[in-house]
């Protein structure tokens, strides 16, 4: 960003979001590691992360002042969730040598520490400027924009940001752009708000039908019960598997903007399909050697999921939502995550425990790894390189292409693209991310 003040605000937003997602990841990791302990099975406990996971990615995306940093910021938070999972699993591994109620009480209670740290950082941060412009408080919106950019609102790049936000709000205020229930099935509106929400819901929902929650919550169980490893070995491997997920998540942060969102998602789905198919095939032939090979395939699946479907679905869903309905749309997307997570962790173990089903239950996850490929190809236009307001142009119907506000967005996007090309030229001399032209193909309904 253009100033140290603006950079600090954005960095703090990412830090606060990361602490929140460590809390989320810690919860999943702790429960995954202690499910088989007698001490935990003798007691019922639970906590919800829904509000946090549905709001933080939208907040961080809206606080980004440069499109080339936006994906990395949201990705960094999702990586923090994996970091939380990994740390929690190592704590769980250490607790396998204890025998008291501390086996599960300490790991669960320590989640409070991450929550308090997140609150402490988030408390100092402002609301997003888009919120104030949407609610009619332009003065407050100007103030926060100036804080983010570290420059007065009269400076050209700050003026452009404000102009695009107001143009997007004006386009969304017309009757033909309003959200209608029927449009969730076949969207004929000018800005396709329902289609964009629907796409985010399906994308995040599919990500959580690929098997990630079975792996998150039942990693130790998979290694111990279905692959036949000793309990201590299974716990250590579970911690290592989730460490691999965290590492690959952070690799994705650095390379996020070198390829489009579509490329990450399609390539990830292809790789995951291959490794999931191999994992299932090996599980169908029980044995020490095939069990070890199955574990290796699971590690490979995790390594592919880490930088692709793990974070990119959140990035994409937070980007495509129309400004006025962004909080609703992303919340619905995360709701799909939790619904699918519930189905997975509730029905998955029951199916696997059934002798007539067993390993075949994983075929369900294989199907969703595969169908994700055509879904992304046909339904998800590329958003890399576009401002949040510029994304409207990817979905906009021809009927409003000539409106003044649409022309304003198009002109500003063109200027931004020229700036990105200059950055790309500099990339030949310096190791910074490139800015290839974005794919603007769209689905019409």
Per-residue pLDDT of the chain (445 residues; tens, 9 = 90+): 445 656 788 888 888 888 878 777 766 666 655 454 544 444 474 444 667 777 888 899 999 888 888 888 888 888 888 788 778 777 777 776 666 676 667 777 777 888 888 889 989 999 999 999 999 999 999 999 999 999 999 999 999 999 999 999 988 887 666 788 888 999 888 889 999 999 999 999 999 999 988 877 777 777 777 677 787 888 788 778 878 888 898 888 888 888 889 999 999 999 999 999 999 999 888 777 888 888 899 999 999 999 999 999 999 999 999 888 888 899 999 899 889 988 888 888 788 778 788 788 899 999 999 999 999 999 999 999 899 999 999 998 888 888 888 898 888 888 776 665 554 444 444 443 333 334 444 444 4
Helices in 127-260 by DSSP H: which ranges?
A: 129-134, 138-149, 156-172, 193-207, 212-221, 231-255
**pLDDT given for residue 241 in this prediction:** 83
* Spatial separation of the C-alpha atoms in residues 33 and 402, rounded to whole Å: 57
* Spatial separation of the C-alpha atoms in residues 76 and 13, rounded to whole Å: 11
CA 322 from chain centre, in angstroms, equals: 17
**pLDDT given for residue 175 in this prediction:** 60
Nearest CA to 160 among 66, 58, 73? 66
* Spatial separation of the C-alpha atoms in residues 302 and 211, rounded to whole Å: 10
Angle at 444 (CA atoms; ends 385, 434), nearest 5 degrees = 15
Whether this prediction's pTM lies above 0.95 is answered by: no
CA 169 from chain centre, in angstroms, equals: 25
Nearest CA to 409 among 422, 391, 436, 384? 391
**pLDDT given for residue 318 in this prediction:** 92
**pLDDT given for residue 197 in this prediction:** 96
Place of tokens 């490979």: 300
Q: Assess contact for 33 and 220: CB atoms under 8 A.
A: yes
Nearest CA to 82 among 300, 254, 249? 249
**Domain architecture of the chain: domains with CATH:** 4-427 (1.20.1250.20)
Nearest CA to 401 among 171, 152, 225, 57? 171
């Amino acid at each position: 960003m253009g100033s140290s003040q603006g950079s600090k605000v954005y960095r703090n937003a990412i830090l606060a979001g990361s602490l929140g997602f460590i809390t989320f990841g810690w919860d999943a990791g702790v429960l995954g590691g202690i499910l088989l302990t007698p001490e935990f099975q003798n007691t019922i406990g639970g906590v919800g992360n829904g509000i946090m996971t549905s709001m933080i990615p939208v907040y961080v995306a809206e606080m980004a002042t440069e499109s080339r940093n936006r994906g990395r910021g949201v990705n960094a938070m999702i990586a923090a969730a994996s970091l939380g999972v990994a740390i929690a699993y190592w704590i769980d591994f250490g607790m396998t040598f204890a025998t008291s109620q501390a086996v599960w009480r300490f790991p669960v209670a320590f989640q409070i520490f991450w929550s308090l740290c997140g609150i402490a950082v988030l408390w100092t941060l402002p609301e997003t400027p888009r919120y104030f412009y949407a609610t009619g408080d332009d003065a407050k919106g100007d103030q926060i924009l100036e804080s983010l950019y570290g420059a007065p609102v009269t400076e050209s790049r700050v003026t452009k940001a404000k102009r695009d936000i107001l143009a997007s709000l004006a386009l969304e205020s017309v009757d033909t752009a309003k959200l209608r229930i029927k449009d969730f099935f076949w969207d004929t509106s000018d800005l396709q708000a329902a289609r964009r929400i629907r796409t985010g819901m399906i994308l995040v929902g599919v990500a959580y039908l690929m098997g990630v929650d079975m792996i998150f919550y039942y990693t130790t169980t998979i290694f111990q019960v279905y692959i036949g490893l000793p309990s201590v070995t299974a716990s250590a491997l579970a911690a290592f598997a989730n460490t691999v997920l965290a590492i690959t998540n952070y690799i994705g942060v650095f390379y996020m903007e070198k390829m489009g969102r579509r490329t990450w998602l399609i390539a990830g789905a292809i790789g995951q399909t291959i490794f999931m198919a191999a994992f299932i095939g090996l599980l169908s032939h029980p044995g020490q050697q095939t069990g070890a090979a199955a574990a290796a395939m699971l590690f490979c699946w995790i390594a592919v999921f880490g930088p692709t479907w793990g974070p990119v679905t959140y990035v994409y869903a937070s980007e495509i939502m129309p400004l006025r309905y962004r909080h609703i749309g992303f919340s619905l997307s995360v709701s799909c995550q939790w619904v699918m997570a519930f189905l997975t962790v509730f029905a998955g173990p029951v199916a696997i425990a059934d002798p007539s089903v067993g390993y075949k239950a994983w075929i369900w996850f294989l199907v969703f790894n595969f169908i994700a490929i055509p879904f992304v190809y046909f339904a998800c236009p590329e958003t890399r390189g576009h401002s949040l307001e510029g994304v409207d142009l990817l979905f906009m119907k021809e009927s409003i292409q000539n409106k003044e506000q649409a022309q304003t967005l198009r002109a500003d996007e063109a200027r931004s693209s020229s700036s990105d090309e200059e950055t790309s030229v500099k990339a030949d001399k310096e190791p910074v991310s490139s800015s290839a032209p974005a794919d603007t193909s769209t689905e019409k309904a």
